[in-house]
């Protein structure tokens, strides 16, 4: 138990909506520097505790001097985290005057500010260089702390047009030694040194331009995924009067606040956080649903049951099906359940279908919003509250009498959908004549290769492979459980050989060949069958017979 755990701190309160999944929450960090007395800190804590709710889409931190950290941990509201303003490069030991990351973690501190411009300058002593800051960052992360990593240029550097050269020089050593996983616990605090305590400040557009350049640098030098996820705070004299304008910019994800964090005015900054954008789904009152049994053990694959309603249904039939599903009883805790409705019926599902059944679209376009008549794009689906999309279904590959979709197109759509925060059921499978010719795996491999070429290993965490033997869809024919298992095992082996053993072991492979209540348990009892993509049976109460065929964890 940490020191903080033994203290009775008030809970605090929140307002508004949390940041939607897959978006960046705001981070408001206060840096008290070397300011305060016991009396002034106690007064500030009392003011903060009485200051009202904190936006639910923001994380709030105060960085107190080491000597005042225990006062904060004893009585500051729990929804304000505590940061230190530095830590040493080593651990415990003979380092007089230093405090190490493990001591901070043991105390209950959750964040540390590293690389601040004042420490880079050195207070008349040798300052800290970027290599030292990077090493401290790596050490702090290893001890379980989160890091606000400070970067930024001086006035003469901005005037010389070298802002990004300076920022890049501050980031490069960290980029060289931090893993992509490390960056999940790092925020970049961009502090234009010329705007700290000088009365000068960047306009919101000036700040946005630099933040966008930093994010671009991270994309090119770390990864696009890290760049999209990392929060970039603005540290140039943000206060109540300018907070909303600054944080309204696309790439400004909060602030590192100096003087204003030493007054009640800190909450004027906090209240400048823009409200979270709600999806259509967030605004609806859907019943909760219920579960039964045990969840899938850690490190094992849960089952994925996806229903594909295709181009079926009316308002009346969909409302009846929703009512049936809502009344159908608990869903196994080791299964994820989804229904893929026609675009026109997705809002009906998002308004009233139980929350433990997710909604999928059956397609998305290859571009974004724009002049694409009749198309729906991934960002629109995400904005609506859709979580999955079915791509590459055999019917779309055939084309309904038009040119069908090839595997390169399906792979590109998959990459785009993932980038927008959707999960993908990627359909593959052979026709009857291809099975009879013994080319099942040749066909499946041809469907998978373009995706394997452009998806990262991280991407595959949000992809399920839906193997649909086309000859068994709507024909009355079906594979035996062993036939299906043999193909699934071959697909997993192909993934191991062509993507990685780790991805192959983790990826779920659904069976899409006329699974129904009568054969669901037998099929899903096979080692490599991790659920189903269900057609006709998902349009009836019988969908729950399939769902209840999921083996117990």
Instruction: Dump the DSSP string for 410-465.
Output: HHHHHHHHHHTT-EEEEEE---HHHHHTT-HHHHHHHHHHHHHHH--TTGGGGEEE
Say yes or no: 368 and 487 in one domain: yes
β-sheet bridge partners, residue 257:
30
What is the arithmetic mean of pLDDT over 475-480? 76
- List Cβ<8 Å contacts ≥24 apart for 439-446: 440/469, 440/487, 440/490, 441/487, 441/490, 441/491, 441/494, 444/487, 444/490, 444/491, 444/494, 445/494, 445/498, 446/407
C-beta atoms surrounding 60 within 10 Å: 24
How many CA atoms lie less than 13 Å away from 540 in the CB half-sphere?
8
Which of 218, 249, 270 terminates a domain? The answer is 270
List Cα–Cα distances, 120 to 29, 137, 150, 193, 194, in angstroms.
19, 14, 10, 11, 14
Assess if residue 257 is contained within a domain.
Answer: yes
Q: Comparing 230-244, 279-293, 520-534, which segment has the lowest mean pLDDT? A: 279-293
Say whether both 264 and 317 belong to one domain. no
Q: 166-204 pLDDT, tens per residue?
A: 999 999 999 999 999 999 999 999 999 988 767 676 889
Q: How many domains does the chain have?
A: 2
Whether 292 maps to a domain, the answer reads: no
Give a yes or no: residue 291 inside a domain. no
For residues 352 and 485, membership in a common domain is answered with: yes
Q: What is the mean pLDDT of residues 334-351?
A: 96
Q: Which burial class, exposed, middle or buried, applies to 226 when counting CB atoms under 10 A from its CB (0-12, 13-18, 19+)?
A: buried
Q: Examine the fold and report which residue of 229, 250, 270 is the final residue of a domain before the chain moves on.
A: 270
Q: Is the same domain home to 362 and 481?
A: yes
**What is the bridge-based pairing of β-strands 388-391 and 335-340?**
unpaired
Whether the pLDDT of residue 130 is over 70: the answer is yes
Q: What is the pLDDT of residues 5-32, one digit of tens each?
A: 888 899 999 998 888 878 899 999 999 9
Q: Specify the pTM.
A: 0.62
The reply to whether 351 and 496 lie within a common domain is yes
Q: What is the mean pLDDT of the chain?
A: 94
Which residue among 270, 289, 319 closes a domain?
Answer: 270
Q: Are strands 54-55 and 14-15 parallel, antiparallel or unpaired?
A: parallel
Confidence band for 474, pLDDT divided at 50, 70 and 90:
low
Which tens digit of pLDDT belongs to each residue from 294-318? 999 989 999 999 999 999 999 999 9
- Which domain CATH number covers 345? 3.20.20.70
For residues 451 and 503, membership in a common domain is answered with yes
Q: What is the mean pLDDT of residues 348-377?
A: 94
Looking at the fold, whether 312 and 260 belong to one and the same domain comes out as no
- Supply φ then ψ for residue 395, to 5 degrees: -65, -35
152 plus 38 within the same structural domain? yes
Mean pLDDT is lowest, of 118-127, 411-420, 470-479, for 470-479
Residues 6+ apart with CB under 8 A from 116: 31, 85, 86, 150, 191
Looking at residue 202, what is its pLDDT? 82
Q: Is residue 184 in some structural domain?
A: yes
* Residue 361 shares a structural domain with residue 504: yes
Q: In the structure, what pLDDT confidence band is assigned to residue 473 with cuts at 50, 70 and 90?
A: confident
Residue 277 predicted with pLDDT over 80: no
Residues serving a catalytic function are: 116, 191
**Do 264 and 340 belong to one domain?**
no
Within this chain, do residues 253 and 308 fall inside the same structural domain, yes or no?
Answer: no
For residue 31, what are the domain limits?
A: 25-270
Per-residue pLDDT, averaged over 481-488, amounts to: 96
Cα(510)–Cα(304) distance, rounded to whole angstroms? 7
């Amino acid at each position: 138990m940490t020191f903080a755990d033994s203290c009775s701190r008030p809970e605090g309160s929140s307002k508004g909506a949390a940041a939607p999944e897959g978006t960046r929450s705001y981070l408001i960090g206060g840096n008290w520097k070397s300011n305060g007395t016991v009396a002034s800190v106690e007064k500030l804590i009392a003011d903060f505790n009485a200051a009202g709710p904190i936006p639910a889409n923001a994380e709030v931190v105060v960085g107190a001097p080491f000597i005042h950290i225990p006062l904060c941990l004893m009585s500051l509201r729990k929804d304000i985290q505590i940061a230190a303003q530095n830590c040493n490069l080593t651990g415990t030991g003979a380092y007089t005057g230093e405090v190490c990351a493990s001591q901070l973690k043991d105390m209950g501190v959750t964040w540390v500010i590293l690389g601040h411009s004042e420490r880079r300058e050195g207070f008349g002593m040798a300052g800290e260089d970027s290599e030292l800051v990077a090493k401290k960052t790596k050490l702090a992360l290893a001890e379980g702390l989160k890091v606000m990593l400070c970067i930024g240029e001086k006035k003469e550097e901005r005037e010389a047009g070298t802002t990004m050269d300076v920022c890049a020089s501050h980031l490069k050593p960290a980029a060289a030694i931090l893993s992509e996983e490390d960056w999940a616990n790092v925020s970049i605090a961009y502090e234009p040194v010329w705007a700290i305590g000088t009365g000068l400040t960047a306009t919101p557009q000036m700040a946005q331009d630099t933040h966008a350049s930093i994010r671009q640098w991270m994309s090119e030098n770390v990864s696009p995924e890290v760049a999209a996820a990392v929060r970039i705070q603005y540290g140039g004299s943000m206060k109540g009067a300018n907070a909303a304008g600054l944080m309204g910019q696309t790439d400004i994800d909060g602030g590192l606040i100096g003087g204003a964090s030493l007054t009640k005015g800190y909450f004027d900054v906090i209240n400048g956080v823009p409200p979270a954008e709600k999806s259509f789904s967030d605004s609806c009152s859907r019943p909760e649903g219920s579960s039964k049994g045990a969840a899938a053990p850690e490190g094992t694959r849960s089952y994925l049951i996806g229903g594909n309603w295709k181009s079926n249904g009316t308002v009346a039939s969909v409302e009846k099906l929703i009512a049936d599903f809502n009344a159908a009883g608990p869903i196994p805790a080791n299964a994820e359940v989804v229904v893929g409705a026609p675009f026109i019926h997705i809002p009906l599902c998002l308004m009233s279908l139980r929350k433990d059944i997710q909604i999928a679209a059956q397609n998305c376009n290859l571009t974004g919003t724009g002049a694409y008549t009749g198309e729906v794009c991934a960002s629109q689906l995400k904005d609506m509250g859709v979580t999955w999309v079915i791509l590459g279904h055999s019917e779309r590959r055939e084309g309904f009498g038009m040119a069908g979709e090839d595997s390169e197109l399906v792979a590109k759509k998959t990459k785009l959908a993932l980038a927008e925060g959707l999960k993908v059921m990627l359909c593959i499978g052979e026709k009857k004549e291809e099975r009879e010719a013994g080319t099942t795996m040749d066909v499946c491999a041809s469907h998978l290769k373009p995706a394997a070429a452009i998806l990262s290993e991280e991407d595959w965490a949000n992809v399920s492979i839906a193997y649909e033997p086309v000859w068994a869809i709507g024909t009355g024919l079906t594979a035996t459980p062993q036939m299906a298992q043999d193909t699934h095992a071959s697909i997993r082996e192909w993934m191991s050989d062509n993507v990685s053993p780790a991805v192959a072991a983790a990826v779920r492979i659904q069976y899409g060949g006329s699974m129904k209540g009568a054969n669901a348990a037998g099929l899903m009892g096979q080692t490599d069958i991790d659920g189903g993509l269900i057609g006709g049976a998902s349009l009836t109460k019988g969908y729950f017979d399939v769902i209840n065929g999921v083996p117990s964890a």
